[in-house]
Amino acid sequence: MSINTLTCITTAAYSLLSSTTTEHVPNPLSVRHFDKSNDRNAVSSSWPTLEIPYIISPDLASRTDDILSAMEMVSKHTCVSFHKRTIEQNYLLFKTSTGCASFVGLKGGEQPVFVGPQCMVGNIAHEILHALGFHHEHTRMDREQHITVIHSNIMPGKDGETFSLPYDATSIMHYGRDFFSATGLPTIFPKKDVKEMGQRDKLTKTDIERVRRLYSCVTKYKK
């Protein structure tokens, strides 16, 4: 497993993944977490199919509807779909944990997507997009034009492909103002007023278009 392909969105997920692996989980707010290229969504990490197999662990049976709703958020406006695994070698395994987390892009074989009690439908969709190959919006090289990261407010230990589409502070892949805050004060401050920064209610038009471009969707956009 690659050091730079693991991502988490909650403190609990950070602790879980740090304690169960020997890897260092890079801080998604840190400048050191930037990729040198302008396009973080490397095509090499995308799945070679538009039909993604999955298994929902029995201990997550009570969350089946939430997971299916999250898949629907992704598939509704794109050409990517999800189906229960039969004999496929590569597949997503949704499993219970204390937080929400996923690897970025195809890793091969059984690929976990961690779902904790506090992971709502939008959080699960966020993790599915990671699994499809998408990094956090706020790790783009052009982020400084749109947001200011306030490092002094970040919890200790956490300071560490654009497809020619504009920066989207309302992306479902963007963190909110106080994510990873040590004091409740902002860790990310938008340079323009963006009330929905950090939202997990829906994929934005930009999110949808990125999926469509990464997976070469040619079907008509479904409204």
Relative to beta strand 188-190, strand 91-96 is unpaired
Domain boundaries, the chain: 51-132, 135-202
Q: What is the pLDDT of residue 96?
A: 95
pLDDT digits (tens, 9 = 90+) for 67-87: 999 999 999 999 999 999 999
Query: DSSP readout, 139-170?
Result: GSTTGGGTEEE-GGGBPTT-----TTPPP-TT
| Active-site residue, from 51, 88, 110, 127 | 127
Q: What is the pLDDT of residue 194?
A: 76
Q: What sign does the CA torsion over 188, 191, 195, 201 have?
A: negative
Residue 168: HSE in the Cβ half-sphere, 13 Å Cα cutoff? 22
Residues in binding site for Zn(2+): 126, 130, 136
pLDDT digits (tens, 9 = 90+) for 101-153: 988 899 999 999 999 999 999 999 999 999 998 887 666 566 566 666 555 65
Active site residue 127: yes
Helices 64-75 and 121-132: crossing angle, nearest 10°? 60
Q: What is the pLDDT of residue 147?
A: 60
Q: What is the pLDDT of residue 9?
A: 36
Q: What is the pLDDT of residue 195?
A: 76
Highest mean pLDDT among 32-36, 39-43, 59-63, 164-168: 59-63
Residue for token digits 């997507």?
113
Q: Taking a C-beta distance cutoff of 8 angstroms, is the pair 222, 76 a contact? A: yes
Q: What is the pLDDT of residue 140?
A: 56
Superfamily covering domain 51-132 = Collagenase (Catalytic Domain) (3.40.390.10)
Task: Sort 191 into a burial class: Cβ within 10 Å, 0-12 / 13-18 / 19+.
Answer: exposed
Q: What is the mean pLDDT of residues 177-181?
A: 64
- Rounded CA-CA distance 158/25 in Å is 9
* pTM listed for this prediction: 0.70
Residue 80 CA: distances (Å) to CA of 36, 51, 67, 106, 180: 28, 6, 15, 14, 31
Render the burial of 164-185: b for 16+ CB within 10 Å, e for the rest: eeebbbbbbbbbbbebbbeeee
Q: Does residue 161 surpass a pLDDT of 70?
A: no
Percent of the chain with pLDDT over 70: 59
Coil, helix or strand for 43?
Answer: helix
Smallest Cα–Cα separation from 169: which of 153, 185, 189, 155? Answer: 189
